[in-house]
Every structure is written in C-alpha cells, then in structure tokens.
Amino acid sequence: MTEDSADFVAKLRQIEELANAINGEAPQSPMHARLQHMAILAKALRGRLELGVVAIVRERGAPPAGQLDKPSA
C-alpha cells in the first residue's frame, strides 16, 4: 500500500469513528440516518482499499456461469 493510500485509509477510519461517536451521543438526532450512512460508506471504502481488488475468474474448462445450475440432459 502506498503512503497516499495509507493516509486515505486513515482518514476514512477517522470519518467512520467520528460519525459513529456523534451517532452514539445523539441517537435521536435528525442527522442519525446520514451519519450512519457516512460511517457505513467510509467502512466499505476503507475495506476495498485495505483488501485490494478481488477478481473472480472462471477456471479453464469450467462451464459458463449460466450453465452451472442447469441439469445436464
């Protein structure tokens, strides 16, 4: 992970923690749903950066995805 990516991940973690902290202090706030959405979005983006891009590939010789559930005749 590059230094810029690590810095961005740290900022996303900070956004997530602050949104959760504010939500915990004032759960009846009209901003509750927005803060919760911000925390979830920051966590999801952080997870993508930390784990990297996951590619799903089909093995050579495997049937196409649409034919996996079809019974053979």
Residues 18-65 pLDDT 10s: 999 988 887 677 888 898 999 999 999 998 888 875 555 566 666 665
Tokens of 70: 């079809």
- Within 10 angstroms of residue 16's Cβ, the number of other Cβ atoms is 19
Terminal CA-to-CA distance of the chain, rounded, Å?
A: 49
Q: Is this model's pTM higher than 0.85 or not?
A: no
In the block, residue with structure tokens 């997530």: 16
Please, what sign has the CA dihedral across residues 55, 56, 58, 63?
negative
46 near 12, Cβ under 8 Å? yes
